[in-house]
Structure 1
């Protein structure tokens, strides 16, 4: 086994067990047995079960944050930038559907410092996303009769609801769903006569 794959093996095992039997009902011993490693090997990368749950989400959030920064850095018009950001967060959320489901089902069990770290990093992502909406409002593209926070919360509510209904075996691909939800959101926030 390559040393660099140990962390991946442990995380994969933890994800499977957390999904199947719940975070609270999974022991570190079960994780290392499923991963085929020793506790010492696991503790080289993760100090606790808490670290495992955090790391499962960290991979997803880090990827989404990197993607958003890349999209913004292109310097395209705000409407194109926001559209690309919406599509990306939906597609990556579908790619990490199991990770997101496991994490949000168990996030309340994380230690307080870990919860604070998650909140800080999610807020940073949302702030960047919200700044795009704000810029579009300043350019007259998006409605201003509804608070920005409500507009953004509406979009991310759809994203967070994905695990309850989306299936990779369903009739629509992640690309189709991402395009459809993005279109619904952007049509809903578009400025129109008489509504700001």
Structure 2
């Protein structure tokens, strides 16, 4: 238990408060401009509670993203390991990815804007977990190429990195007040991506 203003806060709840406060502050005023003191005050917990869960502001930022990335990876693993043709599973995977991004838009946007500030062991941990997601995605693309549902003239590594790199950059140009919702944007990007990787039927002779 931790105390704040005379009230006792369960440790698990304190962690949730810290994450929620940090996400809101990072999103509103930026990671660099946000201080640990501001996070503690917004979360209404003690500084000790903050450092019980996170050794630094950098660890807090990476922890928020790594938890979401772990969710994305588990969901992709379940879809990729399911039944059905590779193109159907890849469609389900990228559609689910956009759904997850829509559900957690604020913390994922915070990470995309701030990830260049993370270095050392925290950056290495994130890279390792992202490689796992990329390998699962690439394996699914390669499976589709082997079964003939995806074009084989473009390497699976190129397909994978082009798509996932484009996803990371969405925060730079997407505007919630624009003509599309995140879900609608996802539907269009999924259609564009899958049309680009599917095998083009050979034209019948005249």
TM-score by length of 2: 0.86
The answer to whether structure 1 residue 120 and structure 2 residue 123 are counterparts is no
Q: 2:80, 2:197 → 1: CA distance?
A: 19
Q: 1:108 to 1:164 in 2, by over 3 A?
A: closer
Q: 1:23 to 1:174 in 2, by over 3 A?
A: closer
Q: 1:178, 1:111 → 2: CA distance?
A: 30
Question: Which residue matches 1:63?
Answer: 71
Q: Is contact 2:65–2:108 with CA below 8 Å preserved after alignment?
A: yes
Give the one of 18, 30, 33 matched to 1:25.
Answer: 33
The answer to whether structure 1 residue 152 and structure 2 residue 160 are counterparts is yes
Question: Which residue matches 1:52?
Answer: 60
Task: Give structure 2 stretches of 5+ with no counterpart.
Answer: 1-8
Give the one of 9, 16, 20 matched to 2:17.
Answer: 9
User: Which has the larger helix fraction?
Assistant: 1
Q: 1:101, 1:182 → 2: CA distance?
A: 20
Q: Report the CA distance between 1:93 and its aligned residue.
A: 1.8
Q: Is contact 1:134–1:148 with CA below 8 Å preserved after alignment?
A: yes
Q: Report the CA distance between 1:23 and its aligned residue.
A: 1.7
Q: 1:127, 1:28 → 2: CA distance?
A: 36
Which deviates further from its counterpart, 28-37 or 144-153? 144-153
Question: Which residue matches 2:99?
Answer: 91
SS of the residue corresponding to residue 142 of structure 1 reads coil
Max Rg structure: 2
Please show how residues 176-195 of structure 1 align to structure 2 within 5 Å: 176-192=184-200
Q: 1:12 to 1:31 in 2, by over 3 A?
A: same
Task: Give structure 1 stretches of 5+ with no counterpart.
Answer: none
Q: Report the CA distance between 1:10 and its aligned residue.
A: 0.3
Question: Which residue matches 2:4?
Answer: none
Q: 2:172, 2:58 → 1: CA distance?
A: 25
User: What is the Cα-based RMSD across aligned positions, in Å?
Assistant: 1.8
Q: 1:33, 1:175 → 2: CA distance?
A: 34
TM-score by length of 1: 0.90
Q: Report the CA distance between 1:123 and its aligned residue.
A: 0.7
Q: Report the CA distance between 1:169 and its aligned residue.
A: 4.5
Question: Which residue matches 1:106?
Answer: 114
Per-residue CA deviation, residues 153-192 of structure 1 (Å, 9 max, x unaligned), is 2222332232234344444344333222111111011112
Q: 1:31, 1:186 → 2: CA distance?
A: 42
Q: 1:44, 1:91 → 2: CA distance?
A: 32
